[in-house]
Amino acid sequence: MTQFSYQLIAWYNQNRRELPWRDTTDPYAIWLSEIILQQTRVVQGLSYFQRFIMKWPDVFRLSEASEQEVLRLWQGLGYYSRARNLLASARQVVNDFDGVFPNDYKQLLQLKGVGKYTAAAIVSIAFNKPHAVIDGNVIRVLSRIFGIHDPVDTTSGMNQIEELADTLLNIKNPGIHNQAMMEFGALQCIPVSPDCRNCVFNDQCHALKFNLVQVLPVKSKKVKISQRYFHYFICTEAKGKICSLVLNKRSDQDIWKGMYDFPMIESTKEIQFEELQKDTSFLNWASNPDYTLTAVSDLFTHQLTHQKIFARFYHLRFNTDIILISKNDLSLVDNSKLDLFPLPRLIDRYLNKLNGINC
DNA sequence: AATACGGGGGA
DNA sequence: TCCCCAGTATT
């Protein structure tokens, strides 16, 4: 065992959080936790893990779920392709591996949504095989302590990280070592303003010695943020006590694929309602649109990583039955059934603020 | 090799 | 309000 791993694991044993997926060697639970934790903080993912494991305790149960159910339980976590891939992989495991999780790195890579990081995490944590994980925490810890100055989003920089991670790996306890590395990055060697005075590596940390803690890891790429305007139409129809509204299932190569929102017109700038009405696509999915504009929302902003969405909601109460003429992704839904549908955060927030749709 | 894909937390 | 975070699939 290297001195580094010895110190790291000693720190881990003192500071580790108790988390449900740390009480098990069940590869299903470990896989599920790793998919949830991709791009997601533990505090945010924890309750999702518990709900998933409660609802689908094993890979067979999950494989029988519908995509809509899985997306609905995933709602709010973001990166929804993870949820779709989760279901696809569960079915892969059942169909191709008799429901037994593969314990081989290369086989795990065949599963949708499982890349190098997740494959290494599963084989090391569930099967104690020596594969070093490399995630954002590991990159930060290694680049700071050992002074990797090349940008980590380049081949050169990443090769150095990989070589270092492989060298340092504790091959007797790769699962513990990997978890300790990530926990250390998550709790001690945090992105901004880490508490270096109380760090077990502060006598050997390159970044601390050369005052580079705020500089490392170096990243070369910067994202450009585009701005999009969503003009949503909440179209309702009242039939006795039943209030129905039109939902749109998103299917394009775009954000929120598989999630539901409303019919809308998108533009690159703000547009007045009078202009929207003239748009050729305005309500072109309804036969005989006969409506009353009953409310117009404030402008909502929704910040994503590389786009900023400005949304306004127009409430259109139809005076006659809504008849959908194009069999695209639209459907007429009873508003009491709304909680069956996976909704993007923006939509969910608006509906909650509204305290439900009324016709 | 470059780009797209959500949402939450902290400065 | 803006800035930061970061695995995988696709192109």
pLDDT tens by residue, A165-183: 999 999 999 999 999 999 9
Q: Among the options A34, A270, A274, A275, which is catalytic?
A: A34
pLDDT (0 to 100) of residue A327: 66
A291 found inside a domain: yes
Q: pLDDT over 90 for what percent of chain A?
A: 75
Query: Which nucleotide lies closest to A253 by the C1' atom and the CA atom?
Result: B4
Distances (CA, A) of A70 to A53, A130, A131, A164, A347: 12, 32, 30, 38, 18
What is the number of alpha carbons within 13 Å of residue A25 lying toward its C-beta?
9
Q: What is the pLDDT of residues A110-169, one digit of tens each?
A: 999 999 999 999 999 999 999 999 999 999 999 999 999 888 888 888 899 999 999 999
CATH number at residue A237: 3.90.79.10
A220 found inside a domain: no
Among A74-78, A87-91, A217-221, whose mean pLDDT is lowest?
Answer: A217-221
A217 found inside a domain: no
Name A residues 41-70 whose Cβ lies under 7 Å from strand B. Answer: 41, 43-44
Last residue of a domain, one of A143, A174, A209: A209
pLDDT (0 to 100) of residue A223: 66
pLDDT class of A227 with cuts at 50, 70, 90: confident
- What is the spatial distance, in angstroms and rounded to an integer, between the CA atom of A55 and the C1' atom of C3? 36
- What is the spatial distance, in angstroms and rounded to an integer, between the CA atom of A293 and the C1' atom of B7? 32
List the single protein residue with the shortest CA to C1' distance from B8.
A44
Q: Is it the case that residue A40 has pLDDT exceeding 80?
A: yes
Asked if strand B contacts A307 at the CB level, meaning under 7 A, the answer is yes
Q: Is it the case that residue A197 has pLDDT exceeding 80?
A: yes
Nearest to A102 by CA among A82, A119, A85: A119
CA distance A211 to A332: 60
Beta carbons within 8 Å of A18's beta carbon, 6+ residues apart? none
Name A residues 240-259 whose Cβ lies under 7 Å from strand B. Answer: 253-257
pLDDT class of A259 with cuts at 50, 70, 90: very high
pLDDT (0 to 100) of residue A222: 66
Asked if strand B contacts A155 at the CB level, meaning under 7 A, the answer is yes
Asked if strand B contacts A140 at the CB level, meaning under 7 A, the answer is no
Q: What is the pLDDT of residues A206-222, one digit of tens each?
A: 999 988 888 899 887 66
Strand B positions with any atom < 7 Å from protein CB?
Answer: 1, 3-11
pLDDT (0 to 100) of residue A1: 60
Q: Phi first, then psi: what are they for A165, rounded to 5°?
A: -65, -40
List the single protein residue with the shortest CA to C1' distance from C1.
A303
Footprint of strand C on the protein (CB under 7 A): A 38-39, 79, 81, 85, 111-119, 134-137, 139-140, 185, 191-192, 219, 223, 253, 301, 303, 305
Is residue A274 within 8 A of residue A237, CB to CB? The reply is no
What is the maximum span of chain A, computed from C-alpha positions, in angstroms? 76
Q: Between these two residues, A70 and A307, which has the higher pLDDT value?
A: A70
Count the residues in chain A: 359
Q: Is it the case that residue A69 has pLDDT exceeding 70?
A: yes
Q: What is the pLDDT of residues A290-300, one digit of tens each?
A: 999 999 999 88
CA distance A127 to A263: 48
Q: Which two tokens stand for residue A202?
A: 């502060």
Q: What is the pLDDT of residues A306-355, one digit of tens each?
A: 788 899 999 999 999 999 997 678 999 999 999 999 999 999 989 988 88
Q: Which residue has the tokens 């709602």?
A: A75
CA distance A83 to A74: 7
Same domain flag for A163 and A23: yes
A236 found inside a domain: yes
- What is the spatial distance, in angstroms and rounded to an integer, between the CA atom of A219 and the C1' atom of B3? 16
Query: Which nucleotide lies closest to A349 by the C1' atom and the CA atom?
Result: B7
What DSSP designation does A324 have? B
List the single protein residue with the shortest CA to C1' distance from C4.
A191
- Average pLDDT on A92-98 reads 95
CA distance A355 to A359: 13
DSSP code per residue over A155-183: HHHHHHHHHHHHHH--SSSHHHHHHHHHH
The total number of structural domains that make up chain A: 2
Is residue A70 within 8 A of residue A83, CB to CB? The reply is yes
A34 assigned to active site: yes
Beta carbons within 8 Å of A277's beta carbon, 6+ residues apart? none
Q: Which two tokens stand for residue A307?
A: 């786009």
Distances (CA, A) of A47 to A26, A32, A43, A60, A341: 19, 13, 8, 21, 19
Same domain flag for A43 and A187: yes
Name the 3-class secondary structure at A28: helix
CATH number at residue A24: 1.10.340.30
Which residue range is the domain that position A115 belongs to? 3-209
Q: Between these two residues, A324 and A254, which has the higher pLDDT value?
A: A324
A221 found inside a domain: no
Same domain flag for A67 and A199: yes
- The model carries a pTM of 0.89
List the single protein residue with the shortest CA to C1' distance from B10.
A192
Last residue of a domain, one of A209, A237, A264: A209
Same domain flag for A143 and A230: no
Same domain flag for A52 and A166: yes
- Average pLDDT on A28-34 reads 95
Nearest to A75 by CA among A36, A110, A33, A101: A36
Query: Which nucleotide lies closest to A190 by the C1' atom and the CA atom?
Result: C5
Q: Is it the case that residue A2 has pLDDT exceeding 70?
A: yes
Same domain flag for A118 and A21: yes
Is residue A305 within 8 A of residue A37, CB to CB? The reply is no
Is residue A315 within 8 A of residue A231, CB to CB? The reply is no
